[in-house]
Amino acid sequence: MPILKNLSNGLKNTVLGISYLLRRSTKGSLRPKWLVFEVTDRCNSRCTHCNIWNTPNDKNPITAGEIIKALSDPLFRDLRYIQITGGEPVLRKDLEEIFLGIHKVLPKAILQLSTNALLPDRVLKVVRTSLEAGITIYVGVSIDGIGEEHDKIRGVKGNFEKADHLLKELVKLRDKYGSQLLVSGGIVISDLTLHSVDPVRAYAKQIDIELTEAWYNECSFYGNEGKNDIKSNLTEAILSQTPSPLKDLWLKDLKGESIRFPCFAMHTFCLLKWSGDIVPCLTHFNSVGGNIRENTPTEIWNSKQMQDVRVNKVHNCKGCLNSWGAGWSFETSYYKYVFFYLKNPGFFIKTLRGK
């Protein structure tokens, strides 16, 4: 029965979460389950939310061979999800080689591709190649508004038209390949996009895709520190979202309350930069634990330099609203979900029933 199975999984995750919280204080005792891989910092967008496009580009990115060698290390044997991001990932001409190579060494891992959709044919080629190779792939396409509203945020005329075309072609592929392909849109919520939230939600529902609503994030990764595109009260937009632990965190932040939580960056997830540096996350993008060109991932994971980053940066972090950083931490410790279900018993019952 689904209810008994889901209840059993919940109890199992609660016990595991307690053990992970205890092991979090032990040097190198956990291995990553999730990886964010910045394949390039080159970008062909001109986003108002982000300044990556206006920073110096990568000069000597790690090669497909170096990537495959690194991911063959025993440290990464438990990886189940790899988020391929940039910059704009499809600007790398060897992206298919990277996807196929990753799949060869980690055949059970889900690969997620984030794209601005400015090169839709290139994206579709990568996706088709991956699907034909048996890769389970998730594709996320940026949608910060409808029509010219999106183009204005993204800084490139005609971007929405390309995104719309890409999403509809991806939906056709999803109809063919089923659960092997997940298609989603993504909107960054800020003062600049608040008026577009409802239209984007309606658009996502119309074309039958999932929608990720991300909080505007100021950090060294985006090169946008101090821009402050969050000024108004966004409570109404947040309250209209589906209940979740992350939504509760957003509301606490809007009230000026602490959003600190046990983060599992450099424990169950990390970020691999185009240069080969391993760092915790977007917030601590310049806190380097080591480089795969200089040491093996296992050596880096167990090094003093890595432990210093864990203790001085990750464990002292004031918290964030990053969907994957917070989400993976919640999934690891699980106690946030326990409290959430206690607070929302109706949602808990729906979850047990698999709805």
Give the whole-angstrom CA distance, residue 1 versus residue 300.
Answer: 44
Element (H, E) at 114: strand 110-115
Report pLDDT digits (tens) over 154-210.
Answer: 999 999 999 999 999 999 999 999 999 999 999 999 888 999 999 999 999 999 999
Alpha helices in the chain (DSSP H): 2-23, 64-71, 95-105, 120-132, 148-154, 159-177, 197-207, 235-239, 245-254, 297-301, 304-309, 323-333, 335-343, 345-352
Which tokens hold the place of 155?
A: 């800084």
Q: Is the pLDDT of residue 228 over 60?
A: no
HSE value, Cβ hemisphere, 13 Å, CA-based, for 104? 13
The full set of domain ranges for the chain reads 30-333
Q: What is the pLDDT of residues 58-99, one digit of tens each?
A: 789 999 999 999 999 999 999 999 999 999 999 999 999 999
- DSSP secondary structure string for all residues of 197-224: HHHHHHHHHHHT-EEEEEEP--STTTT-
Instruction: Report domain 30-333's class.
Output: alpha beta
Q: What is the pLDDT of residue 193?
A: 92
Burial of residue 202 (number of CB atoms within 10 Å: 0-12, 13-18, 19+): exposed
Residues 6+ apart with CB under 8 A from 114: 83, 84, 85, 86, 89, 140, 142, 186
The percentage of the chain sitting over the pLDDT mark of 70, rounded to a whole number, equals 92
Average pLDDT, the chain: 91
**What is the tens place of the pLDDT at every residue in 123-146?**
999 999 999 999 999 999 999 999
For CA atoms 296, 298, 302, 308, the dihedral sign is: positive
21-56 tens-digit pLDDT: 999 987 768 999 999 999 999 999 999 888 887 777
Report the candidate in 133, 9, 84 with the shortest Cα–Cα distance to residue 272.
84
Residue 164: closest CA among 178, 182, 149, 185: 185
CA-based diameter of the chain, in Å? 55
Taking only the tens place, the pLDDT of each residue in 305-344 is 999 999 999 999 999 999 999 999 999 999 888 888 888 8
Cβ contact 279:285 at 8 Å: yes
Q: What does the pLDDT look like over 254-284, one tens digit per residue? A: 889 999 999 999 999 999 999 999 999 999 9
For CA atoms 53, 59, 65, 68, the dihedral sign is: negative
